[in-house]
Amino acid sequence: MFFLVFARNAVIRLSVLLAVFSLLFFTGNKFNSFLVNRPITSYNIFSLSDNVAEWLLWSASPLIFQKNDGNGMPAWRGFEPAFLLQSEIPLLASVKPDETVEIDSAEPAVTVPDEETSIDPQPPTGRNTVFIYHTHTGETYTLTDGMDRLDGKCGGVVTVGSAVKEVLEKNYGLEVVHSVKIHDLQYAVSYRESEKSVRNFLSDNPKVSVIIDIHRDAGKSRKNSLVKINGQQIAPLCFVVGSDSRQPFPNWKDNYQFASNLSKKLGEKYPGLCLGVLTGEGRYNQFLHPRSLLVEIGSASNSTEEAVATARLFADVLGEEISGSD
């Protein structure tokens, strides 16, 4: 009895093998693997584990494959989550995704200087000189650019810097140099690179009044990135002052006092606009000048337009401070 069963199974096995081999040879070995794109022959049918996986996947979800190779053969669709779900749950195919909502915000009317012409600005001749630069030049605003950083390019913070320059020059007659040199091609050494720019400027302009490094904050929600000033929703700002926690910085409190004065005046003129002064552990190039500011205008959750509106108000108070202290 056992022999008959074995013989019968052997016959079945032999029949299956003969059928497979016949299919391969009668079709001229043109039957290709879906994934690895190589012919299945009598020599490799049992060694191509990929082919076994393909057939198992095809048998479980045939709609994953579609006929689009021009010869009527199934072709690999790819693991698109929406397509896989729709192939198994047909009703999902009738559900249309929400349309992408584009925010139509006008580009701020601020002229951003060309990078190539601003790397080595000409030394100014006046006394009240302001130097603006950006350690993290690629920082930008997600609602405008769709991302929070532009690698190797000038981000929204540069547009914000141009707005500060415009107000200081037009409204207060100050001489402003705005460097848009990119310092964050290698993010880890950004401050080392921007320090070179500040030192180079100071070597020609030792009597510069104020040095400003403009950034934007990160990690804030949209709700916490807005403040209403004069009926308009704009971005809040804050100051960051370095200290001597890590390295010698004996005069860091000079910078702290200057930032605190500006914060107080901003609070008096535009309540809620300034979030105060934060003390950091680094020096942030502020050891190079007693009135060196690091100001964060808005966050990644803002638009460039919102940050530019804030920059103009900040420049208004800064201009008054500089002019009054002359």
Model confidence over 216-250: pLDDT tens digits?
999 999 999 999 999 999 999 999 999 999 999 99
Q: Are residues 249 and 132 in the same domain?
A: yes
- pLDDT interval class at 256 (50, 70, 90): very high
What percent of the chain clears pLDDT 90, i.e. is strictly above it?
Answer: 59
| Least confident range of 21-25, 112-116, 150-154, 298-302 | 112-116
Domain's final residue, options 65, 94, 123: 94
Whether residue 143 is found in the same domain as residue 218: yes
Q: What is the pLDDT of residues 94-123, one digit of tens each?
A: 444 433 333 333 334 455 555 433 444 444
**Whole-number average pLDDT of the chain:** 77
Give buried/exposed letters for 171-181 (b at 16+ CB in 10 A, else e). Answer: ebebbbbbbbb
Q: Are 273 and 309 in contact (CB under 8 A)?
A: no
Task: Judge whether 108 lies within some domain.
Answer: no
Pick the more confident residue, 90 or 297.
Answer: 297
pLDDT value at residue 71? 39
- Give the CATH number for residue 247: 3.40.630.40
Q: How far apart, in whole angstroms, are the C-alpha atoms of residue 203 and residue 86?
A: 66
Q: Are residues 73 and 148 in the same domain?
A: no
Domain that holds residue 33: 2-94
Claim to verify: residue 86 and residue 119 sit in the same structural domain = no
Say yes or no: 16 and 125 in one domain: no
Position 225 in a domain: yes
Domains in the chain: how many in total?
2
Split at pLDDT 50, 70, 90, the class of 324 is confident
> Which pLDDT tens digit goes with each residue over 130-141?
999 999 999 999
> Rounded to 5 degrees, what angle do the CA atoms 243, 167, 206 make?
50
**167 occurs within a structural domain:** yes
Does any domain span residue 103? no
Residue 9 binned pLDDT confidence (cut-offs 50, 70, 90): low
Considering the domain architecture, whether residues 158 and 297 belong to the same structural domain is answered as yes
Higher pLDDT, 144 or 36: 144
pTM (whole model) above 0.75: no
| Residue 6 located in a structural domain | yes
My answer on whether 172 and 38 are in the same domain is no
Give me the mean pLDDT over the 164-193 stretch. 97
Residue 231 lies in a domain: yes
Q: Domain boundary residue among 94, 128, 160?
A: 94
The answer to the question of residue 209 being in a domain is: yes
69 Cβ contact partners less than 8 Å away, ≥ 6 residues apart? 75
Q: Are both 167 and 212 inside the same structural domain?
A: yes
What are the tens digits of pLDDT across the range 46-58? Answer: 444 444 444 444 4
> Do residues 314 and 182 both lie within one domain?
yes
pLDDT value at residue 60 = 55
- Domain endpoint, select from 45, 60, 94: 94
| 266 in Cβ contact with 314 (< 8 Å) | yes
Alpha carbon distance 184, 189 (integer Å): 7
Buried b (16+ CB within 10 A) or exposed e, 203-242: eebeebbbbbbbbbbeebeeeebbbebeeeebbbbbbbbb
Q: How far apart are the first and last CA of the chain?
A: 113
Pair (88, 180) in one structural domain: no
Highest mean pLDDT among 29-38, 71-80, 144-153: 144-153
- Verify that 121 and 90 share a domain, yes or no: no
Is 232 a domain residue?
Answer: yes
Based on the fold, state whether residues 151 and 252 are members of the same structural domain.
yes
Coil vs helix vs strand at 167:
helix
Using the predicted structure, report yes or no on whether residue 24 has a pLDDT greater than 80.
Answer: no
